[in-house]
Amino acid sequence: MKFTKMHGLGNDYVYVNCFEETVQDPCSLSPLISDRRRGIGADGLILISPSEEADASMQIFNADGSEAEMCGNGLRCVAKYVYDHGLAESHGPFAPPGEQSGYPASLRIETGRGLLTVGLTLDAENRVQSVCVDMGQPILDPDEIPVRLAGPEIINHPIRVDHQSLEMTCVSMGNPHAVFVVDSLQEIDVPHLGAMIESHDHFPNRTNVHFVEILNERELQVRTWERGSGITMACGTGACACCVAVVLMNRAERVCTTHLPGGDLAIHWNDTDGHVYMTGPAIEVFDGIWPL
Protein backbone atom coordinates (compact mmCIF):
# COMPACT_ATOMS: atom_id res chain seq x y z
CA MET A 1 0.00 0.00 0.00
CA LYS A 2 1.43 3.36 -1.02
CA PHE A 3 1.23 6.13 1.58
CA THR A 4 2.33 9.73 2.10
CA LYS A 5 3.47 11.18 5.41
CA MET A 6 2.27 14.78 5.93
CA HIS A 7 1.94 17.18 8.83
CA GLY A 8 0.38 20.46 9.81
CA LEU A 9 2.50 22.11 12.54
CA GLY A 10 3.82 18.71 13.60
CA ASN A 11 0.35 17.16 13.86
CA ASP A 12 1.36 14.28 11.59
CA TYR A 13 -0.72 11.64 9.84
CA VAL A 14 -0.21 8.88 7.33
CA TYR A 15 -2.30 9.64 4.23
CA VAL A 16 -3.54 7.03 1.77
CA ASN A 17 -4.80 7.96 -1.69
CA CYS A 18 -7.93 5.81 -1.94
CA PHE A 19 -8.46 7.03 -5.49
CA GLU A 20 -5.83 4.36 -6.18
CA GLU A 21 -5.46 2.25 -3.02
CA THR A 22 -7.90 0.16 -0.96
CA VAL A 23 -7.77 -0.04 2.85
CA GLN A 24 -9.86 -2.92 4.16
CA ASP A 25 -9.64 -2.37 7.93
CA PRO A 26 -8.43 1.16 8.81
CA CYS A 27 -9.36 0.78 12.50
CA SER A 28 -6.84 -2.05 12.84
CA LEU A 29 -4.29 -0.51 10.51
CA SER A 30 -4.06 2.90 12.21
CA PRO A 31 -2.50 1.73 15.51
CA LEU A 32 0.08 -0.31 13.59
CA ILE A 33 1.29 2.43 11.29
CA SER A 34 0.98 5.14 13.99
CA ASP A 35 3.36 3.34 16.36
CA ARG A 36 6.47 5.55 16.52
CA ARG A 37 8.84 2.65 17.23
CA ARG A 38 7.34 -0.27 15.30
CA GLY A 39 5.44 1.53 12.55
CA ILE A 40 5.71 4.66 10.43
CA GLY A 41 4.95 6.95 13.38
CA ALA A 42 1.99 9.32 13.32
CA ASP A 43 -0.95 10.77 15.22
CA GLY A 44 -3.21 8.61 13.06
CA LEU A 45 -4.35 7.58 9.60
CA ILE A 46 -6.29 9.67 7.06
CA LEU A 47 -7.91 8.23 3.94
CA ILE A 48 -8.39 10.49 0.90
CA SER A 49 -11.25 9.11 -1.20
CA PRO A 50 -13.49 10.13 -4.11
CA SER A 51 -16.66 12.04 -3.27
CA GLU A 52 -19.89 12.45 -5.22
CA GLU A 53 -20.40 15.93 -3.75
CA ALA A 54 -16.91 17.37 -3.37
CA ASP A 55 -13.41 17.19 -4.83
CA ALA A 56 -12.47 14.50 -2.31
CA SER A 57 -13.52 13.11 1.05
CA MET A 58 -11.43 12.50 4.15
CA GLN A 59 -11.80 9.86 6.85
CA ILE A 60 -9.74 10.13 10.06
CA PHE A 61 -8.59 7.36 12.40
CA ASN A 62 -6.77 8.18 15.63
CA ALA A 63 -3.61 6.44 16.77
CA ASP A 64 -5.71 4.11 18.95
CA GLY A 65 -7.84 3.04 15.97
CA SER A 66 -10.94 5.03 16.88
CA GLU A 67 -12.55 7.09 14.13
CA ALA A 68 -12.68 10.87 14.51
CA GLU A 69 -15.24 13.21 12.98
CA MET A 70 -12.90 16.02 12.04
CA CYS A 71 -9.25 17.15 11.98
CA GLY A 72 -8.30 20.69 11.03
CA ASN A 73 -4.58 20.11 10.47
CA GLY A 74 -5.42 16.93 8.58
CA LEU A 75 -7.89 18.76 6.36
CA ARG A 76 -5.24 21.29 5.33
CA CYS A 77 -2.95 18.43 4.34
CA VAL A 78 -5.73 16.69 2.42
CA ALA A 79 -6.33 19.90 0.47
CA LYS A 80 -2.63 20.18 -0.36
CA TYR A 81 -2.45 16.55 -1.47
CA VAL A 82 -5.57 16.78 -3.64
CA TYR A 83 -4.37 19.93 -5.40
CA ASP A 84 -0.66 19.15 -5.69
CA HIS A 85 -1.28 15.61 -6.97
CA GLY A 86 -3.85 16.72 -9.51
CA LEU A 87 -6.84 14.88 -8.05
CA ALA A 88 -8.99 18.00 -8.58
CA GLU A 89 -8.80 21.47 -10.08
CA SER A 90 -9.47 24.76 -8.29
CA HIS A 91 -12.96 26.22 -8.16
CA GLY A 92 -11.44 29.69 -8.42
CA PRO A 93 -10.57 32.37 -5.84
CA PHE A 94 -11.93 32.24 -2.30
CA ALA A 95 -12.27 34.92 0.38
CA PRO A 96 -14.09 34.83 3.74
CA PRO A 97 -17.05 37.25 3.89
CA GLY A 98 -16.04 40.80 4.77
CA GLU A 99 -12.35 40.23 4.02
CA GLN A 100 -10.72 42.05 1.12
CA SER A 101 -7.75 39.74 0.68
CA GLY A 102 -8.45 36.20 -0.43
CA TYR A 103 -6.89 33.07 -1.85
CA PRO A 104 -6.21 32.40 -5.54
CA ALA A 105 -7.51 28.82 -5.53
CA SER A 106 -10.10 26.76 -3.65
CA LEU A 107 -11.39 23.22 -3.21
CA ARG A 108 -14.33 21.54 -1.47
CA ILE A 109 -13.64 18.59 0.83
CA GLU A 110 -16.22 16.21 2.29
CA THR A 111 -15.67 15.65 6.04
CA GLY A 112 -17.53 14.30 9.02
CA ARG A 113 -18.61 17.91 9.55
CA GLY A 114 -20.04 18.14 6.04
CA LEU A 115 -18.71 19.86 2.92
CA LEU A 116 -16.01 22.41 3.77
CA THR A 117 -14.39 24.98 1.50
CA VAL A 118 -10.65 25.59 1.64
CA GLY A 119 -8.70 28.51 0.20
CA LEU A 120 -5.22 27.80 -1.10
CA THR A 121 -2.09 29.96 -1.14
CA LEU A 122 0.25 28.80 -3.92
CA ASP A 123 4.01 29.13 -4.33
CA ALA A 124 5.94 29.98 -7.50
CA GLU A 125 5.72 26.34 -8.64
CA ASN A 126 1.91 26.30 -8.21
CA ARG A 127 2.08 24.05 -5.16
CA VAL A 128 0.05 24.63 -2.02
CA GLN A 129 1.94 26.56 0.64
CA SER A 130 -0.79 27.32 3.17
CA VAL A 131 -4.50 26.62 3.51
CA CYS A 132 -7.43 28.58 4.93
CA VAL A 133 -10.29 26.33 6.03
CA ASP A 134 -13.87 27.50 6.44
CA MET A 135 -14.61 25.43 9.54
CA GLY A 136 -18.28 26.45 9.69
CA GLN A 137 -20.10 27.75 12.73
CA PRO A 138 -19.06 26.47 16.17
CA ILE A 139 -21.54 24.16 17.89
CA LEU A 140 -22.41 25.26 21.43
CA ASP A 141 -25.52 23.20 22.21
CA PRO A 142 -24.52 20.62 24.87
CA ASP A 143 -26.58 17.86 23.25
CA GLU A 144 -24.83 18.36 19.92
CA ILE A 145 -21.25 18.64 21.27
CA PRO A 146 -22.08 16.21 23.07
CA VAL A 147 -21.62 16.89 26.78
CA ARG A 148 -23.91 15.69 29.58
CA LEU A 149 -24.55 19.09 31.14
CA ALA A 150 -27.67 21.26 31.17
CA GLY A 151 -27.96 24.74 29.71
CA PRO A 152 -27.94 26.46 26.32
CA GLU A 153 -24.13 26.79 26.46
CA ILE A 154 -21.35 25.45 28.69
CA ILE A 155 -19.16 28.43 29.61
CA ASN A 156 -16.85 28.45 32.65
CA HIS A 157 -18.65 25.44 34.08
CA PRO A 158 -17.03 24.13 37.28
CA ILE A 159 -15.58 20.63 37.10
CA ARG A 160 -13.53 18.72 39.65
CA VAL A 161 -10.71 16.52 38.34
CA ASP A 162 -8.17 14.73 40.50
CA HIS A 163 -9.00 16.91 43.53
CA GLN A 164 -8.58 20.07 41.42
CA SER A 165 -11.32 22.60 40.72
CA LEU A 166 -11.31 23.81 37.11
CA GLU A 167 -13.63 25.85 34.90
CA MET A 168 -14.56 24.34 31.55
CA THR A 169 -16.00 25.75 28.33
CA CYS A 170 -17.27 23.24 25.76
CA VAL A 171 -17.31 23.74 21.99
CA SER A 172 -17.67 21.44 19.01
CA MET A 173 -16.06 22.13 15.65
CA GLY A 174 -17.53 18.90 14.31
CA ASN A 175 -15.71 17.10 17.14
CA PRO A 176 -15.91 17.76 20.91
CA HIS A 177 -13.54 20.07 22.80
CA ALA A 178 -13.19 21.00 26.47
CA VAL A 179 -11.28 24.27 26.97
CA PHE A 180 -9.67 25.37 30.25
CA VAL A 181 -8.16 28.83 30.71
CA VAL A 182 -5.23 28.72 33.15
CA ASP A 183 -2.85 31.30 34.62
CA SER A 184 0.27 29.37 33.61
CA LEU A 185 0.67 26.38 31.32
CA GLN A 186 3.89 25.46 33.10
CA GLU A 187 1.89 24.56 36.20
CA ILE A 188 -0.45 22.17 34.33
CA ASP A 189 0.21 18.43 34.06
CA VAL A 190 -1.32 18.14 30.60
CA PRO A 191 -0.87 14.35 30.12
CA HIS A 192 -2.33 13.53 33.52
CA LEU A 193 -5.31 15.88 33.47
CA GLY A 194 -5.88 15.47 29.74
CA ALA A 195 -6.26 11.70 30.00
CA MET A 196 -8.67 12.01 32.92
CA ILE A 197 -10.84 14.68 31.29
CA GLU A 198 -10.89 12.91 27.91
CA SER A 199 -12.84 10.01 29.42
CA HIS A 200 -14.84 11.97 32.00
CA ASP A 201 -18.46 10.91 32.47
CA HIS A 202 -19.58 14.28 31.09
CA PHE A 203 -18.46 13.21 27.59
CA PRO A 204 -20.27 10.23 26.04
CA ASN A 205 -17.95 10.25 23.01
CA ARG A 206 -14.85 11.32 24.97
CA THR A 207 -13.38 14.75 24.23
CA ASN A 208 -10.29 16.68 23.14
CA VAL A 209 -8.80 18.69 26.00
CA HIS A 210 -7.08 22.09 25.74
CA PHE A 211 -5.35 24.29 28.32
CA VAL A 212 -5.10 27.95 27.32
CA GLU A 213 -2.91 30.73 28.63
CA ILE A 214 -4.18 34.10 27.36
CA LEU A 215 -1.15 36.20 26.44
CA ASN A 216 -3.22 39.18 25.27
CA GLU A 217 -6.49 39.84 23.45
CA ARG A 218 -5.06 38.54 20.17
CA GLU A 219 -2.67 35.80 21.27
CA LEU A 220 -3.26 32.45 22.96
CA GLN A 221 -0.79 29.82 24.13
CA VAL A 222 -2.33 26.34 23.94
CA ARG A 223 -1.38 22.81 25.00
CA THR A 224 -3.51 19.90 23.84
CA TRP A 225 -4.42 16.37 24.77
CA GLU A 226 -6.17 14.85 21.74
CA ARG A 227 -8.82 12.20 22.10
CA GLY A 228 -7.41 8.87 20.96
CA SER A 229 -3.90 10.20 20.29
CA GLY A 230 -2.66 11.88 23.48
CA ILE A 231 -0.26 14.83 23.42
CA THR A 232 0.06 16.33 19.93
CA MET A 233 2.12 19.19 18.53
CA ALA A 234 -1.00 20.99 17.29
CA CYS A 235 -4.76 20.62 16.96
CA GLY A 236 -6.51 22.69 14.30
CA THR A 237 -10.09 22.16 15.43
CA GLY A 238 -8.86 22.69 18.99
CA ALA A 239 -7.26 26.03 18.12
CA CYS A 240 -10.62 27.10 16.65
CA ALA A 241 -12.48 25.91 19.75
CA CYS A 242 -10.06 27.78 22.03
CA CYS A 243 -10.58 31.03 20.12
CA VAL A 244 -14.37 30.62 20.32
CA ALA A 245 -14.19 29.78 24.03
CA VAL A 246 -12.17 32.83 25.06
CA VAL A 247 -14.38 35.10 22.95
CA LEU A 248 -17.43 33.66 24.74
CA MET A 249 -15.68 34.52 28.01
CA ASN A 250 -15.13 38.11 26.76
CA ARG A 251 -11.40 37.66 27.21
CA ALA A 252 -10.11 37.87 23.63
CA GLU A 253 -10.93 39.21 20.20
CA ARG A 254 -12.40 37.27 17.28
CA VAL A 255 -9.12 37.43 15.36
CA CYS A 256 -6.23 35.78 17.18
CA THR A 257 -3.00 33.87 16.78
CA THR A 258 -2.88 30.53 18.54
CA HIS A 259 0.63 29.47 19.57
CA LEU A 260 0.97 25.68 19.64
CA PRO A 261 4.06 23.55 20.27
CA GLY A 262 4.33 22.91 16.52
CA GLY A 263 3.83 26.52 15.43
CA ASP A 264 1.13 29.14 14.95
CA LEU A 265 -2.39 29.09 13.51
CA ALA A 266 -4.34 32.19 12.53
CA ILE A 267 -7.96 31.94 13.70
CA HIS A 268 -10.84 34.28 12.80
CA TRP A 269 -14.35 33.83 14.21
CA ASN A 270 -16.01 35.89 11.50
CA ASP A 271 -18.90 38.03 12.78
CA THR A 272 -20.35 38.35 9.26
CA ASP A 273 -21.34 34.71 8.76
CA GLY A 274 -20.47 33.28 12.20
CA HIS A 275 -17.99 30.84 10.68
CA VAL A 276 -14.53 30.12 12.05
CA TYR A 277 -11.65 30.41 9.57
CA MET A 278 -8.37 28.66 10.29
CA THR A 279 -5.17 29.36 8.31
CA GLY A 280 -1.91 27.46 8.54
CA PRO A 281 0.70 25.42 6.65
CA ALA A 282 0.56 21.91 5.22
CA ILE A 283 3.76 19.95 4.61
CA GLU A 284 4.39 16.77 2.60
CA VAL A 285 7.27 14.86 4.22
CA PHE A 286 7.83 11.61 2.30
CA ASP A 287 6.21 8.76 0.37
CA GLY A 288 6.56 5.09 1.13
CA ILE A 289 5.08 1.60 0.82
CA TRP A 290 3.50 -0.24 3.73
CA PRO A 291 3.54 -4.08 3.39
CA LEU A 292 -0.07 -5.11 4.03
* Catalytic hit among 170, 235, 243, 256: 235
Taking the alpha carbons of 233, 235, 236, 240 in that order, is the dihedral positive or negative? Answer: negative
* Catalytic hit among 71, 77, 240, 242: 71
β-strand 44-49 against 208-216: which pairing, if any? unpaired
| Phi, psi (deg, nearest 5) at residue 273 | -115, -5
Active site residue 235: yes
Using CA atoms, how far residue 285 sits from 5, 12, 71, 237, 265, in Å, is 5, 9, 18, 22, 20
Active site residue 27: no
Secondary structure of 16-65 in HEC code, one letter for each residue: EECCCCCCCCHHHHHHHHHCCCCCCCCCEEEEEECCCCCCEEEEEEECCC
Q: How far is CA 57 from the centre of its chain?
A: 15
Sequence length of the chain is 292
| Catalytic residue annotation | 71, 235
